[in-house]
Amino acid sequence: MKITQNSAVTLRMKVTDSQGLVYDDGKQPVAYLHGGYDNLFPKLEAALEGQEAGFQTTLQLATEDTFGERDEALVTTMPKADFPPGIKVGGQIQRLGPDGEPRYYFVTKIKGPTVLLDGNHPLCGKTLRFAITVVDVREASAEEIAHQHVHGEHGHHH
Ligand SMILES: [Zn+2]
């Protein structure tokens, strides 16, 4: 069947940047609910609309169509003494952002008594390439539509 509003779509999606650095090897299939539920970037959904299992495409998307530009106001520090034990570079911590809303910060460096944090998504400010293969297309259940995500092996687990 063709991908249309409320299709449950299973994909393999390899994500690289313009230098060829691999962020997701796409070996693990992912399932999403098609139709503007914010499960996939709109330009990717547009490319998949009307396609069927077996369809393959490669798209390059600019930062404004993916994770946006970096916001240097989200780069900050905190004293290592205030840090939960066991945290490492590459880990995440939740704290209040400049707008007073909680958000996740990545630990980018631990420098003596100071921990450097970055609240930007690691893929912010990058042009990304998506190599997509459609593995399966089926109609979503009423429950999946109500939840706005796909259930099952490659979908959302409750
Ligand atoms: Zn659900």
Q: Would you list the domain boundaries of the chain?
A: 7-63+124-147, 72-118
- pLDDT of residue 84 exceeding 90: no
Architecture of domain 7-63+124-147: Roll (3.10)
Q: State the average pLDDT over residues 100-127.
A: 92
- pLDDT of residue 72 exceeding 90: yes
Assign 85 a pLDDT band (cuts: 50, 70, 90): confident
DSSP helix/strand/coil, 58:
strand
Distance (Å, whole) CA 42 – CA 32: 13
What separation in Å is there between the alpha carbon of 152 and the centre of ligand 1?
A: 9
Q: What is the dihedral of CA 107, 109, 115, 117, to 10 degrees?
A: -40
What separation in Å is there between the alpha carbon of 155 and the centre of ligand 1?
A: 9
Q: How do residues 50-68 score in pLDDT, each as one tens digit? A: 999 999 999 999 999 999 9
Can you name the CATH fold of 72-118?
A: Thrombin, subunit H (2.40.10)
Q: State the average pLDDT over residues 109-120.
A: 93
What separation in Å is there between the alpha carbon of 37 and the centre of ligand 1?
A: 13
pLDDT at 86: 80
What separation in Å is there between the alpha carbon of 94 and the centre of ligand 1?
A: 24
- pLDDT of residue 122 exceeding 90: no
